[in-house]
Amino acid sequence: MKSNLNKLLVGASILASVTGLATAPASATTFTLSGADIIKYEAIDTNKDGILDTTVANPNADINALLQGNCSAFAYSPDYECNPGEPGGNLELFASSEQLNLNQFLAHDEVTSLEATFDDGRSMTLSSLTAVDWFGEDLKTGYGENTLANRWFNDALSAYSIANSPFLYDVF
């Protein structure tokens, strides 16, 4: 019995030591937007029950509040404070992309970006994709070309176990 207790204590001590070696993940502390083609979506509680159940476009929304915390997490914070890790909205970069025809999309070269700076000093940037990103410098939009668009489309079909075909490429 004493031997088992010693093993348990030694095991717990090792686990505590190893856990102490792990560092806390970095958290984004500030966000910066560049470009104008952005829609800010704010998560809201339409039923006043503490559950965020829809998002609405809000051009005046603060991006730090949207991405760093949920300002209506009733179950976790009755004071409606923002809680890190529970986003209070969403950002759409290159928001007009779905409204452009193919020629307009192929000619569009403006990039919208979101830069996040972390509390450990590192940063990262997420940017919208242009036609050159999707189809290459030569803008090869055909089925079967070696482009990001074809790879993405084929991977999406594979993920849903749908056989790849040129017909589907033209449908979507």
Do 29 and 105 lie in one domain? The reply is yes
Residue 45 to residue 86: CA distance in whole angstroms: 14
Same domain, 114 and 53: yes
pLDDT value of position 9: 42
Q: Are residues 106 and 168 in the same domain?
A: no
Residue 101 and residue 142 in one domain: no
Query: Do the domain assignments include residue 13?
Result: no
Question: What CA–CA distance (Å, rounded) separates 136 from 52?
Answer: 40
Q: How many domains does the chain have?
A: 2
Per-residue tokens: 157: 């079909």
Q: Which residue stretches of the chain are H helix?
A: 2-21, 63-68, 102-107, 131-135, 148-159, 166-171
Q: Are residues 157 and 86 in the same domain?
A: no
From the first residue on, what is the mean pLDDT of each consecutive set of 10 residues in the chain (172 residues)? 44 42 63 92 84 85 76 45 63 92 93 91 93 95 91 91 79 61
Is residue 76 domain-shared with residue 146, that is, in the same domain? no
Question: Which amino acid is located at 78 in the chain?
Answer: P
Within 10 Å of residue 82's Cβ, how many Cβ atoms?
Answer: 18
Domain hosting residue 96, numbered range: 25-128
What pLDDT score does 86 carry? 59
